[in-house]
Amino acid sequence: MHRFLYPLLLLISFIVSLPAWADFSFVHVTDSHVGIGQGATSSTSHDAALFQEINALAPRPAFVVNTGDICEVGTDAQYAEYRKAIAGLTVPHYDAPGNHDVRWNPRGKEGYVLGTKQPLYQSWDYQNIHFVLLDSTVLLQHWGHFDQAMLDWLKTDLKKIGTEKPVIIGFHHWIGRDPVMVDNQQALLDVVAPYNIRLWLQGHGHSNIQWNINGTPAIMAQGLYQGSYHLIEVTKDHLRVLRRTDKNKAPTQEIFTIPLARGTRPHWAPDIRLTNDRINVSVQHDELPTDAKLESRLDTERFSPLEAGENAWTGSINLADKVAGEHAVTVQATLPDGRVYQQSSLVTSKNPHSPAASWTTNVGGAIQSHLVRDGNTLYVTTMGGDLVALNPATGKEKWRFKTGGAVFSTPHLADDSVGQRPVRTIYFGSADHFIYAVNAVTGKLRWKTPTEGAVFASAATAQGIVCIASVDTKIYGLNMNNGKVIWTAQGEGMYQSQATTDGQRFFVGGWDNYFRALDVKTGHELWKNKFGRSFYYSPAIGSPTVGEGKVFVTSNDGLMHAMDAATGQVIWEVGPLLYGDLKEPASASLGYSGPLYHDGHIYNASLTDKGYVFCFDAATGKKLWDTPTGSVIYDSSCAYGAGNVYVGSVDGTFSAIRISDGAMQWQYRLGPGHVLDSPATDNDHVYIGSMSGKVTALPLTVSLNAAK
C-alpha cells in the first residue's frame, strides 16, 4: 500500500504549501495619449509621474490595466516614449488599443502590437478574478466595433472558467450609454450574458463617470495625462473602486463597492410586435419589480417611458414618419437599486416612400472600402481579409479570394494592356504587406508583390502601370502584367486613400499634408501642394477625382481644393461651409468624404451632425445646393445613378438625393452596423455594405406599389 501512500502525502504537502488568500489591488488607467506637447508639460511627463505615483502606492498594486489611446497617433517614436514613461513601473501592465492607437498608426493595428509588445486582446487570472481586455477599435477610424473572430475567442475563453467565477472586462470605446460608439455592442453582451461579469473598465470619453450595463457597474476615467485613474481593491468577497483626480490627488474617492458573488438577474422578455405602422411594446409586471422604470426607443433615438398598467408596462413607437428598413428596438429597465438592463430586437418596416431591399447577404467580414460594380459582378473587400465576388442580381457568392490580412483597399478593375488577350484584373492591397492582382472572372491569383508595410490605399492604372501607395511611405508603380516594381516615389507619411489618374499623371494624397502628381511612366514628382495646417488635417482620407482638366481633393480641415491637373495651380477652394438656419448657422467640414465628379458638378458629403451633402459647380466652386441626411456621415462618399447621388451615414441611414436640386428622394435603414464604406451602382440597383458584414441591394428608384 505504500506505493499509494507516497503520492497522497505529496498531494497533501502541495495543498498545505499553497499560499493563503491575500487581498490585492490593481489600477485602471486610460487615455494616456503619449505624444501631446513637449517637455515638462507634455502628456508623456504627466504619465511618467503618475506611473511613479502608482509605484509608491501602499500596498503596491498587483498590476496596471490601460484601456486604450496609449499614444496620440501611434508612431514608432510615440510608442518608444510610452515604453520609456512606463519603464519605471515595477508591476506588470496590460494594455488594450484605442482609436488613436490605430487611426493614424503608420502600421495600423500591427503597429500597436509592435509598439506596445502586447496582443490586441488577452485574458489572465489573478487570485479569484478572471480579467479580459478586448479590442474595440476600427482600423483608421474613430468608431468602435467588436470583430467576430475576437468574439469567438471570447466565447471559448469564458467557457473555460465557468459561470460563477468573477470576471472583469476592459476595452476602449464605451458601451451601454449614449451616444452609441460600438455598433455591435449587443453581440458582446450576448456572449457574456451567462457569466459573472462584475465590472466594466472603459475609456474614450475623458470623463470621471460611472453607469450600469445589464446589472454590472461600468467606470470611465479621465485621461491619465489629465490626472485621473482608478484603484480597485479586491478581497475574497467584494471589490472597492476608488478614484484619483487632479483635484483629489490620492485614490481615496470611493465610487462604489461591488460584491463578487453572482447576483440574481431579472428574467424578463419584452414583447415587441410590428403592426402596420406601429411597434407595440409590452413587459409583464410579474417579470420585474413594480417600481421599476421601463423605457423604449427606436435605433439611437432618446428613450421614452412605457406606461405602467394593471398587468404590464406598455407603449408604442410610431413608424409612419420613419424610413423603411431594419430598425433596432431597445427596451430598458431601470431597477430601484440602480441596476439597468437592456434588451434589443430587430424589426423590418416598410414605407411607401422608401424602397424595399432586393436582397441582403452577409460576406462574413466588416466592410470599410468602396463597393465596385463591374461587368456582371459586384466586388466587395472585407476586414476579414477577403475579396468577394457577388452576383448583383441575387447577392449569391461567385468566388472568394483570401489574403493574409485585413483588406481596407478598394478593388480597382482594369484590362491588362499587355499581351494579345487582355485580362480583366482586380488590383488591391492588403494589411499582409502585399499588393494583389486577381483575375476578375475566376478569382485566381495572377501575381502579388510585397511591400515594406500594410497596404490600406487603393490603386489607379494608366499606360500599363498600377499605382498604389503603402503605409511604408512609398508610392509604387508596378507592371500591370507581372507586378514588377517599375518605380517608387517617396512620401513622408502613411497612405490610405485611392489614387486617381488623368492618363498622364497619378494623383495621390497622404498623411504628410501633401497632395502629389506623379508622371505615370517614371513616377517623377511633377508637382505637389501642401494642404492642412497640421498632420491631422492632411488630404489623406477622401479619395481625389478628376474632371474638366482639374483634379479635386478634400483635406481634413474641411476644405475642398480644385487644381489644374497639369500644373497643380489651385483654381478654387471652398469650405468649411455654413449651412442650416441662417440665424444660427453651423460649419460643415468637407474633409473625410471624397468628392464625386459627374457632368460638370462635384458632390461631396460633410462631417456634421446633420450629415449635409453639397453640390458645387466644378468650374467655379460655387455651391448649388446642400441637403441634410439627418445623420452623421464619416468616410462614405457619393455614388451616382439614375439622376441621384447615394451616400451612407454612420448610423445605417442610406440616402438618395436628386442631383438637379438636392431634393431627398428616399432613405432606407440598413440596421445595426456602422456604414463607413461607399456605395456602387448599375442601371438597376445601388449596393451598400456596413461593418456588420451585410451587403444590401436597393432599387435605384422607388416603386410605390412595390413598397406598400
Domain that holds residue 190: 19-259
In a domain, 279, yes or no: yes
Question: Which one is predicted more confidently, 699 or 586?
Answer: 699
Render pLDDT for 475-530 as a digit per residue (tens, 0 to 9): 999 999 999 999 999 999 999 999 999 999 999 999 999 999 999 999 999 999 99
Q: 3-state DSSP call for residue 161?
A: helix
Contact 95, 27 (CB under 8 A): no
CA distance 93 to 114: 16
Of residues 457, 438, 454, the one with CA closest to residue 446: 438
Render pLDDT for 200-213 as a digit per residue (tens, 0 to 9): 999 999 999 999 99
Tell me: cis bond preceding 576? Omega within 30 of 0 counts: yes
Contact 432, 454 (CB under 8 A): yes
Q: Are 281 and 172 within one domain?
A: no
Residue 15: predicted pLDDT: 42
Q: How confident is the model at residue 419 (pLDDT cuts 50, 70, 90)?
A: low
Q: 3-state DSSP call for residue 478?
A: strand
Q: Are 166 and 244 within one domain?
A: yes
Overall size of the chain counted in residues:
708
pLDDT value at 703 more than 70: no
Q: How confident is the model at residue 141 (pLDDT cuts 50, 70, 90)?
A: very high
> pTM of the entire structure?
0.93
Residue 88: predicted pLDDT: 84
Residue 106: predicted pLDDT: 83
Residue 705: predicted pLDDT: 38
Q: Are 92 and 188 within one domain?
A: yes
Q: Are 111 and 142 within one domain?
A: yes
List beta partners, residue 529.
515
Q: Are 198 and 284 within one domain?
A: no
Give the domain CATH number at 322. 2.60.40.10
DSSP-derived pairing of the beta strands 485-490 and 500-501: unpaired
Residue 115: predicted pLDDT: 95
Question: Which one is predicted more confidently, 15 or 342?
Answer: 342
Q: Are 226 and 308 within one domain?
A: no
Residue 416: predicted pLDDT: 83
In a domain, 53, yes or no: yes
Render pLDDT for 352-369 as a digit per residue (tens, 0 to 9): 888 999 999 999 999 999
Residue 580: predicted pLDDT: 56
Give the domain CATH number at 190. 3.60.21.10
Q: Are 109 and 134 within one domain?
A: yes
Question: Of 349, 384, 400, which one is at a domain's C-terminal end?
Answer: 349
What's the rounded mean pLDDT across residues 575-597? 73
Name the grid cell of 366: 466588416
DSSP designation for 525: E
pLDDT value at 5 more than 70: no
Region of 527 (left: φ > 0; alpha: ψ -120 to 50; beta: rest) is beta
DSSP designation for 573: E
Q: Are 107 and 211 within one domain?
A: yes
DSSP-derived pairing of the beta strands 340-349 and 612-617: unpaired
| Identity of the residue numbered 636 | S
Render pLDDT for 257-270 as a digit per residue (tens, 0 to 9): 999 999 888 989 99
Render pLDDT for 428-472 as a digit per residue (tens, 0 to 9): 999 999 999 999 999 999 999 999 999 999 999 999 999 999 999
Neighbours of 570 (CB within 10 A): 12
Please give the angle made by the CA atoms of 638, 643 and 645, to the nearest 5 degrees: 15
Q: Are 179 and 206 within one domain?
A: yes
Question: Of 325, 349, 373, which one is at a domain's C-terminal end?
Answer: 349
Angle, nearest 10°, between helix axes 43-55 and 76-86?
30
Q: Are 45 and 184 within one domain?
A: yes
Question: Of 333, 349, 365, which one is at a domain's C-terminal end?
Answer: 349
In a domain, 607, yes or no: no
The CA–CA distances, whole Å, from 601 to 181, 402, 463, 622, 638 equal 34, 38, 27, 10, 12
In a domain, 496, yes or no: no
Render pLDDT for 28-38 as a digit per residue (tens, 0 to 9): 999 999 999 98
Q: Which of 564-568, 582-586, 643-647 has the lowest mean pLDDT?
A: 582-586
Of residues 456, 443, 449, 535, the one with CA closest to residue 487: 449
Name the grid cell of 95: 494594455
**How many separate domains does the chain show?**
2
Q: Are 214 and 75 within one domain?
A: yes
In a domain, 343, yes or no: yes
- The beta strand positions in 319-473, using DSSP E, are 324-334, 340-349, 359-362, 372-374, 377-381, 386-390, 397-402, 412-415, 424-429, 434-439, 445-450, 460-462, 465-469
In a domain, 655, yes or no: no
Q: 3-state DSSP call for residue 193?
A: coil
Q: Are 117 and 249 within one domain?
A: yes
What's the rounded mean pLDDT across residues 622-643? 94
The CA–CA distances, whole Å, from 424 to 340, 480, 530 equal 55, 11, 36
In a domain, 446, yes or no: no
Residue whose grid cell is 508610392: 475
In a domain, 480, yes or no: no
Q: How confident is the model at residue 14 (pLDDT cuts 50, 70, 90)?
A: very low
Residues 6+ apart with CB under 8 A from 438: 387, 401, 425, 426, 428, 444, 445, 446
* % of the chain at pLDDT higher than 90: 85
pLDDT value at 654 more than 60: yes
